[in-house]
């Protein structure tokens, strides 16, 4: 049922309502709980019904009139097009978006109420590693640049995942370009076994994250790459940091003199020592040379693009 509501929100945005006829198959224990929790809020019953297709009666809508305990919406022009209605058909339920987002955040273990940071995007909370987790009601209708700016502002680490129903290829592309990960709502937000509550699948959320190829831990002078880690000595780590610094600049190549700056030793010796320390940690000679690469006659550079490197303090 929750999934149905999230789909409705995805299709119609925050004006989405659940009609009585769409709700009827779900009436029962689960539906009552949604009403009680105010995830669904019943509105005044409909007093008008849509016109028949292509009707030329000139009305904006057909008035609904009661007939015993049933209801009718008549076409002024054609009695064959009159419709008989039941009381449930006239019921309308609004979706309590804030409450619904609150349920998702609670299921995820976040303890603050979610905040709508921009129309249609709710911040559910932040993971322990500082990643911002957001729910996007309808990605196609978002103000992209505001969203990106707000996420960057509100999230110190700059790492964010947005959960949404059906991201179009175009939406996925701009999210990726903005460095925002995307997780499918159906993978992450699932009904609980008793169907009354919901379950937030953190593993599915993690799986949706783009994993950095190279992780550099500055304080520990450590790198993680290709499933292995190496810790550099504190004498040689500044040389690695210079390579790292260059990786983020336009010309990713660090010249000999640039590297030598950190010590009185020659660049080629410094590089050899970095590679040796990688090998001591179990990396192969080839691996050490493909992470710390030589650009003949120009210098040295990291064999991983800056965007695939995560630097942790
Ligand atoms: Zn009509």
Residues 302 and 245 sit within 8 Å (Cβ to Cβ): no
Q: Kindly state whether residues 21 and 154 are assigned to the same domain.
A: yes
- Which one is predicted more confidently, 249 or 238? 238
pLDDT at 285: 96
Per-residue pLDDT averaged across 220-245, rounded? 93
Q: Kindly state whether residues 184 and 36 are assigned to the same domain.
A: yes
Task: Using the Cα atoms of residue 116, residue 122, residue 127 and residue 130 in order, give the sign of their dihedral.
Answer: negative
Per-residue pLDDT averaged across 37-55, rounded? 93
- Which one is predicted more confidently, 208 or 293? 293
Residues 17 and 95 sit within 8 Å (Cβ to Cβ): yes
C-alpha 87 to ligand 1 mean position (Å): 21
Per-residue pLDDT averaged across 29-57, rounded? 92
Q: Kindly state whether residues 237 and 303 are assigned to the same domain.
A: yes
Answer whether residue 79 is part of any domain.
Answer: no
Whether 194 has a pLDDT exceeding 80, the answer reads no
| Cα 168 from chain centroid (whole Å) | 13
pLDDT at 263: 72
Q: Kindly state whether residues 3 and 151 are assigned to the same domain.
A: yes
Per-residue pLDDT averaged across 17-23, rounded? 91
C-alpha 94 to ligand 1 mean position (Å): 28
82 — pLDDT class (breaks 50, 70, 90): very high
240: how many CB neighbours lie within 10 A of its CB? 25
C-alpha 47 to ligand 1 mean position (Å): 17
C-alpha 53 to ligand 1 mean position (Å): 7
Q: Strand pairing of 70-73 and 83-85?
A: antiparallel
Q: Kindly state whether residues 270 and 307 are assigned to the same domain.
A: yes
233-248 pLDDT, tens digit each: 999 999 999 999 998 7
Residues 73 and 79 sit within 8 Å (Cβ to Cβ): no
Per-residue pLDDT averaged across 272-277, rounded? 97
pLDDT at 273: 96
Q: Answer left, alpha or beta for residue 113, where phi above 0 means left and psi between -120 and 50 means alpha.
A: beta
pLDDT at 301: 95
C-alpha 63 to ligand 1 mean position (Å): 12
C-alpha 56 to ligand 1 mean position (Å): 7
Lowest mean pLDDT among 75-84, 153-162, 253-262, 297-306: 153-162
6-18 pLDDT, tens digit each: 888 888 877 889 9
Q: Kindly state whether residues 18 and 148 are assigned to the same domain.
A: yes
Q: Kindly state whether residues 95 and 19 are assigned to the same domain.
A: yes
C-alpha 22 to ligand 1 mean position (Å): 23
103 — pLDDT class (breaks 50, 70, 90): very high
Asked which of 207, 234, 249 is the last residue of a domain, the reply is 207
Q: Kindly state whether residues 20 and 137 are assigned to the same domain.
A: yes
C-alpha 91 to ligand 1 mean position (Å): 22
> Among residues of the chain, what percentage have pLDDT more than 90?
56
C-alpha 17 to ligand 1 mean position (Å): 25
C-alpha 64 to ligand 1 mean position (Å): 13
- pTM of the full predicted structure? 0.66
pLDDT at 101: 95
Lowest mean pLDDT among 32-36, 175-179, 273-277: 175-179
C-alpha 90 to ligand 1 mean position (Å): 19
C-alpha 80 to ligand 1 mean position (Å): 9
Q: Kindly state whether residues 198 and 252 are assigned to the same domain.
A: no
pLDDT at 262: 64
Backbone angles phi, psi at 127, to 5 degrees: -75, 170
C-alpha 69 to ligand 1 mean position (Å): 23
C-alpha 92 to ligand 1 mean position (Å): 23
Output the domain CATH number for residue 261: 1.10.10.10
C-alpha 60 to ligand 1 mean position (Å): 11
Q: Kindly state whether residues 151 and 240 are assigned to the same domain.
A: no
> Among residues of the chain, what percentage have pLDDT more than 70?
98
Number of domains in the chain: 2
Q: Kindly state whether residues 163 and 42 are assigned to the same domain.
A: yes
C-alpha 23 to ligand 1 mean position (Å): 26
Structure tokens at 259: 């590297």
Q: Kindly state whether residues 26 and 110 are assigned to the same domain.
A: yes
Question: Containing domain of residue 259, as a range?
Answer: 214-312
pLDDT at 155: 73
């Amino acid at each position: 049922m929750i999934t149905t509501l999230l789909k409705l929100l995805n299709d119609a945005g925050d004006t989405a309502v659940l009609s009585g006829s769409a709700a009827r198959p779900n009436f029962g224990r689960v539906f009552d709980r949604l009403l009680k929790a105010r995830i669904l809020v019943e509105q005044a019953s409909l007093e008008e019904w849509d016109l028949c297709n292509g009707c030329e009666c000139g009305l904006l809508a057909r008035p609904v009139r009661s007939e015993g305990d049933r209801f009718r919406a008549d076409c002024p022009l054609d009695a064959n097009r009159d419709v008989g209605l039941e009381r449930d058909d006239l019921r309308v339920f609004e979706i309590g978006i804030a409450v619904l987002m609150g349920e998702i955040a609670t299921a995820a273990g976040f303890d603050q109420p979610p905040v709508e940071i921009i129309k249609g995007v709710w911040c559910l909370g932040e993971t322990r590693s500082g990643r911002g987790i957001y729910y996007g009601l309808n990605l196609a209708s978002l103000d992209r640049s505001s969203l990106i700016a707000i996420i960057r502002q509100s999230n110190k680490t700059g790492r964010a995942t947005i959960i949404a129903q059906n991201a179009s290829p175009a939406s996925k592309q701009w999210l990726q370009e903005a460095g925002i990960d995307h997780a499918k709502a159906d993978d992450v937000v699932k009904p609980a076994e008793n169907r009354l509550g919901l379950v937030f699948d953190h593993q599915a959320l993690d799986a949706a994250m783009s994993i950095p190829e190279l992780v550099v831990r500055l304080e520990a002078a450590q790198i993680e790459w290709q499933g292995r880690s190496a810790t550099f000595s504190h004498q040689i780590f500044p040389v690695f940091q210079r390579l790292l610094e260059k990786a983020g600049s336009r010309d990713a190549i660090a010249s000999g003199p640039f590297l030598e700056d950190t010590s009185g030793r020659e660049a080629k010796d410094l590089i050899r020592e970095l590679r040796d320390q990688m090998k001591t940690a179990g990396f192969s000679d080839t691996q050490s040379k493909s992470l710390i690469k030589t650009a003949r006659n120009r210098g040295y550079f990291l064999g991983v693009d800056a965007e695939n490197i995560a630097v942790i303090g």
